[in-house]
Structure 1
């Protein structure tokens, strides 16, 4: 049985099974979000965007198709290797740890689809926000698209079976020590696998504290991909715009 490493995201995100399990993510929703976000930020074609924790590059590729100069970075070597096939003069992908500044500045630094709060060390959350700040140019905006922990915990599905590409994924969810935990078990080709996703239940108030420490300014908060107002009890997302 395969166990996750201390940095669980480094092992799980680098497996093909992660992408199999989440292959049905809504591409239309992702595109609409990018349309709404870039329009709201008044970003113009040719401006530089950093897609922080880009995975296999779905947001980066679409942003580039809108005319932006995009760099996608991720800790997963396999994801970056896959995404690199889509590179062109204004789209590139690099392996990078988002806790550290990237050696360029951008008009927008986007951390999308709950790609935050995975770290084992609390200080890495703050380090990431400080890194985002350092990667913004004088007029740049930082964006963190996180889950609304109050909403997610309230609607948590404790157990689920999901079959994808002939693999039966058994999923369990619970809250433990301030983290939302998802355990994923499955068998493939006679071998048992077990991975864990663990995301810190970071509230809006927690983010405000990080921002104060990082000396960044929160400009707006949205509760969904249509960029509607955030409500603690009913909004599925916590989308933060800052600089």
Structure 2
């Protein structure tokens, strides 16, 4: 089992990141869909949807949404939000899916991969498979939004040690850069046990990401540097939000 399969399926993962700013995320998605000028009938795949907060909000905006995630527990949690296609409202569905595999679904207008849900795989071919699966499920002129970390910013702002407390659990976190990866080591005591997990994400450069995209047939048409959709600045921007178009 790979690190993300075990860690993402625990309640502690969701607890650690429970402070994520929902308002900022919803404002970002509202601005993004407005920028793309997607019609209200558009079909969107939320790839690596987690517990579905972005899928649910996209659906509230009027889009037909399919949320896909590797975590069975997350998808089971999300099922309560589903709306079937024969309802009067736009459909919202969730399915278990490994993003490296082909997406067996009718072509869609856009695929969103948000909040650094890429770069988990050791094998470069797995990264390429993600781009291929997205390309093949998009309509002609369809959009792929890859919201990723800015590797330069990460290197310049790394905090090696910190402790985050959530519901009386102290998550002791250490970070380091090892080769082309940033590794986050997470240790804590909970439910009478000692727990140890880690996260390992590739520090992909702008050039590498663009190479993956071009090899599939994508054109990168925009890069934003934050969730307010300001222009990307290599040294200063916390995010690297790539907008690709299927040619």
Any gaps of 5 or more consecutive residues in structure 1?
none
1:69 and 1:215 map into 2 onto residues whose CA distance is 25
2:17 and 2:130 map into 1 onto residues whose CA distance is 25
1:183: Cα distance to partner?
0.4
1:44: Cα distance to partner?
1.2
2:67 and 2:140 map into 1 onto residues whose CA distance is 21
Q: Give the aligned length.
A: 238
Q: Which residue of 2 aligns with 1:91?
A: 92
1:139 and 1:180 map into 2 onto residues whose CA distance is 34
1:217: Cα distance to partner?
1.0
For 1:169-188, what per-residue CA distance to the aligned partner results, in whole angstroms no more than 9, with x for missing partners?
00000100210110000011
- 1:184-203 aligned at under 5 Å gives the runs 184-203=186-205
Q: Which residue of 2 aligns with 1:101?
A: 102
- 1:45-60 aligned at under 5 Å gives the runs 45-60=40-55
- 1:1-243 aligned at under 5 Å gives the runs 5=1, 7-89=2-84, 90-104=91-105, 105-243=107-245
1:20 and 1:57 map into 2 onto residues whose CA distance is 15
2:242 and 2:114 map into 1 onto residues whose CA distance is 10
3-state DSSP class of the match of 1:217?
A: strand
Which 4+ stretches in 1 moved above 4 angstroms? none
TM-score (norm. length: structure 2): 0.94
Aligned-residue CA RMSD (Å):
0.9
3-state DSSP class of the match of 2:15?
A: helix
For 1:162-209, what per-residue CA distance to the aligned partner results, in whole angstroms no more than 9, with x for missing partners?
110111100000100210110000011221110010000001111111
